[in-house]
Structure 1
Amino acid sequence: MKKILFLVAACFAFASCQTNVKNEATAQAQKEVAVSDHVEVLYFHGKQRCATCMAIENNTKAAIEENFASQIKNGDVVFRVIDISQKENEEIAEKYEVTWSSLFVVKYKNGHETSENMTEFAFGNARKSPDVFKAGVVKSVTDMLN
């Protein structure tokens, strides 16, 4: 009788493990489908921001909205402002190894991710050469779309 109970318990344990594996595989497949081909422009910042940090956000937003309105509308281009001081943003900050204001352009294509770190370019141009900065952002996004 003990052997039968042990076998029944083992079968239930095995069956429940298999269900979790299937659910995890299904969730992963759904996650991959949900990430369609697109380009994201990610501006990371902390609680306190300097004038240059504000210029990076404002000029990036302007460049994206002025040049990619139709792509924004259909989801091909996404602009995200991410406060790294917020707990919910820790994971993405760690993913891109961000510890202060940063700008990334990220391409998602066929399940692969390619990113360009534009932080140095942004700090060098966003405030004092906004037209150069905007042109650089537009070029990067355009290159990633192609």
Structure 2
Amino acid sequence: MKNYFLISIIALAVFTACKPGHQKEAQRKAAMETDTIISIPPHTVNVYYFHGDKPCTTCQAVGNVAKETVMKYFADSMNVHFIDININRKPNRKLTRYYHVTNTSIVVAGREGYDNLTKEAFDYAVKKPDKLEIIIKETIMQREEYNR
């Protein structure tokens, strides 16, 4: 009888200790599902450079190529913006969740959707930056928002 009572108390303690964690997970999932869509003005293309607090050399090269591309080809355009986003800052969490970003990334986004160029960025940023520049430029120019 003592063992049954002891097991019941332990089980009760375990279940009540785990309950708040489940509530927080459920709240997080609900928030992500009901999160409002990130609003980008009409006829606008944003080039997001997502990075952490201390980006590595390759990550810095990715950001530099993206920024230089936007400045080189779209400096006169009022509709193309380069935006530097630190993923570790609390105000940026909604944006990182929306674009499914967890590490350094390049995202070309407009009202109609977005293109994640992270794979290409890491493939070419250091050894073939000219190729990455062309990819970013073409992606921006192919966006429906840019062509309107």
TM above 0.5, one fold? yes
| Corresponding position of 2:126 | 127
Q: How far apart, in 2, do the equivalents of 1:102 and 1:57 lie?
A: 9
Shift of 1:48: 2.0
The alpha carbon displacement at 1:90 in A equals 0.7
1:70 to partner: Cα distance: 1.3
Instruction: Spell out, residue by residue over 1:60-115, the C-alpha distance to the aligned partner (whole angstroms, 9 max, x if none).
Output: 111110001111xx2x101101000101101101111111001100122xxxx310
The 5-angstrom pairing of residues 12-51 of structure 1 reads 35-51=41-57
Give the aligned partner of residue 52 of structure 1: 58
**Counterpart position of 1:62:** 68
Give the fraction of aligned pairs with identical amino acids, expressed as a percent: 32
Give secondary structure in 1 for the equivalent of 2:53: coil
1:89-128 superposed matches below 5 A: 89-108=92-111, 113-128=112-127
**Is residue 2:106 matched to residue 1:82?**
no
- RMSD (Å) for aligned C-alpha atoms: 1.8
Q: Give the letter for the 2:50 counterpart.
A: F
Shift of 1:136: 0.8
Q: For residue 58 of structure 1, report the CA deviation from its aligned partner.
A: 0.6
CA distance in structure 2 between the partners assigned to 1:86 and 1:106 by the alignment = 20
Post-superposition shift, 1:37? 2.1
Distance 2:105 2:54 in 1: 13
Aligned partner of residue 81 in structure 1, secondary structure:
strand
Q: Which ranges in structure 2 are unaligned for 5 or more consecutive residues? A: 1-35
| In structure 1, distance between residues paired with 2:42 and 2:113 | 14
Q: 1:84 corresponds to which letter in structure 2?
A: I
2:139 — aligned with what?
A: 140
